Amino acid sequence: MDPQGRVWRWRAINSALLLVLGVTVILCTTIGPAPISPGDVLLMLLRKAPVLGSCIPRGDWPDSFETIVLQMRLARVCLAVLVGAGLAASGVVLQGLLQNPMGDPYILGISSGAALGATAAMLFGLGASALGIYTIPVFAFLGAAVTAILVYGLARVGNRAPMSTLLLAGIAVGSFLSALTSYAMITSGENIHQVIFWLMGGLAGRGWDYVLVLLPYSVVSFTLMYVFARHLNVMLLGEEPAQHLGIDVERLKQIMLGAATLAAASAVAVSGVIGFVGLIIPHAVRLLVGPDHRVLLPASILTGAIFLVAADALARVAAAPEEIPVGVITALCGGPFFIYLLRKKGSAGF
């Protein structure tokens, strides 16, 4: 396919994914005890649009429906969009940097650090009086960020941080932190249920305040990743060829690891540990659009958002009126996909 045709194909794929995301958001916003149709949800959203919103007539829905949709359901759906997008984007960058198909935000110990930080906050009440509802997200983010810095420092040899050493350091640190979290859990007494539910991941009870906390981190990390997408393509050739082509490899590693950590840590901080999104989404999208990060990254962001919004909706209805942690749903999808990757090993390159 000629370059111009390839560009048009990429634009068509991302436009189609954007349309699917919009439809998914509307459909999943209708799910709940109050019977609200997709058409009513669409009209409510359009009425909030600047300028054009005042021209759209109001439907005959009760006032309470607008409160349910705009203040409760839509906030949760938007948070699922940002969390899914952040985990998927982080997975794309880490798989590209590590050149490892099993790379995802958890392989470097980021989730283990977040889990330990959140567990410490829940068990010991660290900073609860000053931070209020943001206590757990703040400590989870700090735990993930400190872990990423520690892993990079351990992997560094002189002025370089070899990718294989980085990978092994991440696995070792992640295992160590997971052991500390497990020990804290078995000594937590009656607080163990709170810790377990956070570790299983979920979006219940989150509102617009969580969306506003996560949004700036998502924008900054996605922008950094996309700006250096072309450099990531060169890194697929290997570190030495990339160095010969003028790429400052170590500088690029630091920037990309920082962006991936920021995206994953901020997502985990507001949602708990939601596994497999960063693993399965980049692989699925790579099969569709190829390895070029200029299109792989935005397509993965959109697909990750679609996947997590749908998974969260399924978590709400699968065992209604009880709610399943969304991390259980993503693990049920990710486990079989992980086995598929193992079966494909050696038949198709990264």
Average pLDDT, the chain: 84
350 located within any domain: no
- pLDDT of 10 reads 82
134 located within any domain: yes
First to last CA, the chain: 21
348 located within any domain: no
Residue 28 pLDDT class (50, 70, 90 cuts): very high
What share of the chain in percent tops pLDDT 70?
93
State which amino acid sits at residue 9: R
pLDDT at 2 over 90: no
183 located within any domain: yes
Alpha-carbon span 111 to 258, nearest angstrom: 15
- pLDDT of 128 reads 60
pLDDT at 344 over 80: no
- pLDDT of 322 reads 81
- Closest Cα partner for 317 from 21, 26, 28? 28
- Name, in order, each residue with C-beta under 8 angstroms of 209's C-beta and a sequence gap of 6 or more: 133
Alpha-carbon span 27 to 6, nearest angstrom: 32
Mean pLDDT of 154-162: 79
The conformational region for residue 157 under phi > 0 = left, psi -120 to 50 = alpha, else beta, is: beta
Residue 159 pLDDT class (50, 70, 90 cuts): confident
List pLDDT tens digits, range 111-122: 888 888 888 887
List pLDDT tens digits, range 244-263: 888 888 889 889 988 998 88
The conformational region for residue 319 under phi > 0 = left, psi -120 to 50 = alpha, else beta, is: alpha
- pLDDT of 320 reads 75
15 located within any domain: yes
List pLDDT tens digits, range 290-324: 889 999 999 999 999 999 999 999 998 887 778 88
Q: Residue 203 sits in which domain range?
A: 1-343
349 located within any domain: no
CATH code at 255? 1.10.3470.10
Per the structure, the count of domains in the chain is 1
- pLDDT of 257 reads 87
- pLDDT of 220 reads 93
- pLDDT of 27 reads 94
pLDDT at 125 over 90: no
Residue 17 pLDDT class (50, 70, 90 cuts): very high
| DSSP H helical ranges for 67-162 | 74-98, 110-124, 128-131, 135-155
Residues 10-20, buried b or exposed e (16+ Cβ, 10 A)?
Answer: beebbeebeee
Mean pLDDT of 43-57: 81
